[in-house]
Every structure is written in C-alpha cells, then in structure tokens.
Chain A
Amino acid sequence: MSLMTLLPVWTAVFFTLAIYSFLYGENPWFRFAEHVYAGVSVGYAVAFNLDYLRDQWVNRWSMTGGMAVLYLFALAMGLLWYARFNKKYFFLYRWTLAIVVGTGIGMALRTVVFTQFLDQIISQAKIPLFISGDLLQSFSNILLIIMTPCVLLYFWFTGGARETGPMKHISKIARYTIMAGFGAAYGYTVLTRFSLLIGRSQFLLGILPNPPEAKMAFITIALVMLASLIGYDLLKPKNT
C-alpha cells in the first residue's frame, strides 16, 4: 500500500473524527479541524471563481474590444466588494450590492407569482374530495382542503381576533395543522442528521466503495484521539 493511497484516507478519517470530537466537548482537535475546513472551502471557492473568470475572458469577452471593456467594467464592479473593508470607501461596496440584490430580486419576481403562488392555488383548487377505491387518499384530500385555508386564516388574523367567533375553532385546527407540519419537518430533519452519521460511519468502517484502509485508520486515530481528549480534560485547569 503506497503512502499516496494511505495519506488521503488517514487525513479524511482524522478530520472526520476531529469534527465529531466536538460531541465530547470543546477541544483543540475540533478547533484545528474547523479552521482547516473553513480555509480549505474558501480557497476552493476562490480557485473555482478565478477559473470561471478566466474561461469567460478567453472564450468570450476578449473576442472584441467592446466586449473586453464590458468585461473589465464587470470585473471592476466585482472588486468593489472589497471596499467594505475600508471605512472611507465603504459606500462603493453598496453599488455592487445594489446590482446583485436588484438583479436577484428582479429575476425571482419575474415568475415567483406563477411558480409559488398561482400554481399552488390552482393545485389546491383541483384536489378531488373523493377518489373511488382509495379511502385513505380521499381522507387525506379532505383534510388538506380543511387545513390549508385554516392555516392561511390563522396568519391572516392576529391577536384577539383569532380567539373570537368562528376563528376560535379555525385557530385550533390551524395550530394542530402547524404542529403536524413541524412534526413532519422534525422527523425528516432527524432522518437527514442520522443519514449524515451513517454515511460517515460507512466511510470510517471502510464499507465499499469507500476505501477499506479507513477501518484501521479509524480504530487507531479514534483511540489516540479519545485518550488525548480524556487527558486534556483531566489536565485542564478547573474553573472555580
């Protein structure tokens, strides 16, 4: 087994365990891994951005003089982001910010009404109350038709208006609906968090197609790290 094969695997195992060591408590392994991760991910993003800028210049914007000027203008506007680090020229950063925010909002608003508003209302209106031969789906559709307007009304009215007249009952249904929604979201969140743990555990155990060398690295590094964490805990001066 060559060093070039082992080194990336042992490094990956070390950083995985260093990040998970936070579960034991704040410690230098975690701090080190956290800082390295932040640095590496920023470096990666910067490299990708520069690569993209180069590709755009070589294959597109450098073709004619007019396009080159536009490219340099865009580049200069991009550099204004860094004005935010200087108190005197801070205001220049707002120009770039305005362009980005304006473009982003403009792009989204173009279709947001259709995509996330009208289409959803149409879909809700089209739901059939009864589906022959599918009692469960029929029940689900009836619930949907009752619950959705209740939640909308709950947020429409505020304060005391929610607790008077028919709104009293509507608010109750809406609260149960919202709680059911939160429950579903919580359940799926737990699923995701455990999926992440399972994925990393598969890597640490060297389950194929992960590199099998990870298993030995896992056992060795985990033992060393655990011993050092316990030692660190014992030697750390206690706050009185």
Chain B
Amino acid sequence: MSILEKLQNINRRYIYLLAWVFVLFPLLFPLGLPVPIGRESKAWKEYIENIPSDSTIIVTMDYGVSGMPELYPMTVATMHHLWTDTASKNFKIIVVATWNQGPLVFDTLLDQMNPASTYGVVYGEDWIELGWIPGSETGMAALATDMWSQTPKDFLENRPLSEYPIMENIKTAEDIDLVVSFETGTPGLPEWLRQWNTPYGTPFIVGCIGVSVPGMAPYLASGQLAALMPGLTASGEYELLIGRPGLAVSGLDAVSMSHLLVVLLVVVGNIAFFASKSKGVN
C-alpha cells in the first residue's frame, strides 16, 4: 500500500487519539493564543447592556446536560451580567425550561453562582424559577396565555405563585419584555417565535450550539432574533468582554487547536485523494 493510499485509510483510532492530544495539550498547557472579539458577542453584550430598566425577562433553559459543554459557559456569563444589573435596573427575571433537564442544569448554575450572596438578588422578588414547561410548542403557547395555570408552583420552593411578589403583575406574554433562550434544538427558537414573537411581538435573543447557527441566521437577518450567541468561541469572547473569564475562555486554545487539526486532516485527505487520482490509484 502506497503512502497516498495509507493516508486515505488511517485507522480512525489514531484520528481520535490525535483529537484527544490536540484538545488536552492546550488545556494542560495554555498557549495564550489571541482572541479576536467577534461582532456576535459584541452585539450580545450591547443588547444586554441596553435592556431598559424595569424590564421583565424570561430566561429559558432549552437544553439538557448534553448541551452543557457548549452552552453552560454562556448561560453563566449572561446570568452574571443580568444579575449584576438587576439592582440598578430593577429587572425581574423568570427562569423556565422547555427541556426537562433544563432545571437540572440551572441547579448546577445556582450551586456555582449562589445569586443571593454574590449579587444580592432576592428569590421571589428579583427572580424566580418556574421549572419545566411540558408540551413543547403547545406548552409555550399555554405559557403565553396564562403563566399561572401552566406553572401553578415555582420550582425551587414548590410554593404557589401567589406567594411571590415578583409574579404579582405577570400573567401572560404581554407582560414580558424579553426572552433569553439557550438552546440545543427542538423545541427551540422556531417554536418560541411562532408562539411568542409573532402573536405578541416579544423580542428574543438566543445562545445556541454551533450546529444550530446556520438555521438561526435567517431569523437574525430578518430581525426576529435581536442577538445571537453562536457556540463556545463567542461565549469565550463574551466572557472577556464582561471581564469574567470562565470555562469558555479556558477552552478557547483547545478550540483553535482542534480546528487546526480538522483543517490539517481535510488538507491531507484532499492532497492524498487528488494525488492518487492523478496517478490512477483507486
């Protein structure tokens, strides 16, 4: 077997091993590669900074534990940004989830961030967690028309919503000024847009995994989506912009190295393919 043929038939285990090496090495020995700030992360930061005072914001956790590596850092950074501004801008934040593992992910975030002591926000007054909204798109529609019926109790303390001051004037989608969604798939943005944006005009900003970005782009171009945070790289940029480096920043070197590996493999594969083709090797 010639070298050209060998290059086209590399045992997949070696490729996986290379992938591990290219990811683990920069995590163990950070390279400090430059991080250019993209327009998406800038737009996200500016949008959150310009949310008007007294806004009521829904943060929806539309992903499970499998989406955590890519979405959790941006969720932490965004919640940090929102909770930091809560005192000065009197935000009311309602956390929901249309994926049943969403509350589990948010529990992890609460353990890590401890909002009461870190930001001085009061549960039930400044923010509340309503938990999982079942029923996918139908559940979203029901939540829009009557939040109290869809979630009679909160998630953390399991008490009726009537006991929380934050919920006093919040009944339907008309009382919501912004939805911030972190999502990995369906149900996700198209469903939210159909049930909230089109009928009620609720603005949306979305943080999503890389796979979903091409599908989100048309909504961003049409203005139905006000800002988009695409994947781990943008999360890292956003962490730098708000001055709170976290997991995404520490993973950026690994992102660059892993992409370098993919580009190298694509180039090597193509060279081998075309070279063997020109030599008439099958």
Chain A residues at the B interface, C-beta cutoff of 8 Å: 23-24, 44-45, 48-49, 52, 55-56, 58-60, 103-104, 107-108, 110-112, 114-116, 119-120, 122-123, 181, 184-185, 188-192, 194-202, 205, 207, 209
Contacts and interface: CB of A to CB of B under 8 A. Distances in A.
> Which 10 pairs across A and B sit closest by C-beta, in order of nearness?
A199-B69, A59-B152, A123-B222, A191-B210, A188-B210, A192-B210, A194-B258, A195-B70, A195-B232, A111-B198
Contacts of B181: none
A233 to B, nearest CB: 11
Contacts of B141: 107
A207 to B, nearest CB: 6
Chain B facing A: main interface SS: helix
Interface residues of B, number: 62
A116 B211 contact: no
A126 B246 CA distance: 39
A192 B218 contact: no
B137 A198 contact: no
Interface in B53-68: 66, 68
Contact of B197 (A23, A60, A115): A115
A119 B222 contact: yes
The residue among A24, A44, A199, A209 with the most chain B CB atoms within 10 A of its own CB is A199
B259 A123 contact: no
A59 B23 contact: no
A238 B153 CA distance: 59
Contacts of B3: none
A207 B194 contact: no
Given A48-B100, A104-B136, A202-B27, 5 more contacts: A104-B137, A116-B193, A120-B218, A191-B210, A201-B23
